[in-house]
Amino acid sequence: MIAVMADDRLDEDSFRALVHLLHRHRETDLDQWDRWRLTTAYGEVFITIRRYPEPGSDPSDFDSLDHLLPPTSEPPNGRS
């Protein structure tokens, strides 16, 4: 387990690595959604990763992280 101090913020390279790992997870393992719960020093954090926005939400409300990733290739076997 990695010990993280409350003031140990991610630097730009670490954040970029996190985005790349999430991208890899999305491309290789994510079917429709994942739901994760993490305990932090400030309480629990709930994370939902979905292939589509939740009903009633506007995609333009989300911050794009695409600029941190290499260009997207074609989905394997025609999957989208």
Query: What pLDDT was estimated at residue 20?
Result: 93
Can you tell me which residue has the tokens 């954090």? 45
Neighbours of 31 (CB within 10 A): 6
Question: What does the pLDDT look like over 46-55, one tens digit per residue?
Answer: 999 998 999 9
The 10s digit of each residue's pLDDT in 17-28 is: 999 999 999 889
Q: Residue 62 and residue 55: Cα distance in Å, rounded?
A: 14
Asked whether the predicted pLDDT for residue 80 surpasses 70, the reply is no
CA distance 10 to 15: 6
Residue of 33, 58, 31 lying closest to 48 (CA atoms): 33
Query: Does the pLDDT of residue 4 top 70, yes or no?
Result: no
Asked if residues 48 and 33 have their Cβ atoms less than 8 Å apart, the reply is yes
Q: Identify the bridge partners of residue 50 per DSSP, sorted by sequence position.
A: 33
Collapsing DSSP to helix, strand or coil, 68 comes out as: helix
